């Protein structure tokens, strides 16, 4: 049985998501990858909480709260875009390193099968 959250609880979760994505952006900008991962998990929990309690409830938001929610969502999306701009090149570089290492290992195993590296 799920408990319906109030409008203020709902908006507070949106605000917490925004706060978390602000921290995620700072972590990405500072190359703090472990921190970024932990914050992503925290953001996921908040999002799941919001989704599980929010379906029909969102229809009952006042105009002011609806505008506040939309503004927060736009800020979260802007943070997400900036985080992706930072992390995607890093992820591509990491993928290249992993592919090179795998290729080297395959060559090593092919040409020196008795040499366990």
The greatest distance separating any two alpha carbons of the chain, rounded to the nearest whole angstrom, comes to 71
Distances (CA, A) of 113 to 37, 105, 107, 116: 38, 10, 9, 7
Question: Does residue 103 surpass a pLDDT of 70?
Answer: no
pTM (2 decimals)? 0.73
Question: Does residue 2 surpass a pLDDT of 50?
Answer: no
Question: Which tens digit of pLDDT belongs to each residue from 54-64?
Answer: 655 566 778 89
Domains of the chain are 7-85 (1.20.58.380)
Question: Does residue 51 surpass a pLDDT of 50?
Answer: yes
């Amino acid at each position: 049985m799920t408990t319906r959250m109030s409008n203020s609880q709902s908006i507070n979760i949106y605000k917490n998501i925004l706060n978390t994505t602000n921290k995620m952006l700072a972590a990405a900008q500072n190359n703090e990858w472990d921190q970024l991962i932990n914050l992503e998990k925290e953001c996921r929990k908040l999002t799941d909480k919001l989704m599980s309690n929010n379906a029909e409830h969102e229809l009952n938001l006042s105009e002011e709260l609806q505008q506040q929610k939309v503004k927060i969502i736009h800020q979260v999306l802007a943070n997400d875009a900036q985080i992706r701009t930072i992390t995607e090149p890093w992820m591509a570089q990491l993928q290249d390193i992993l592919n090179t290492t795998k290729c080297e290992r395959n060559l090593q195993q092919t040409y020196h099968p008795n040499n366990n590296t």
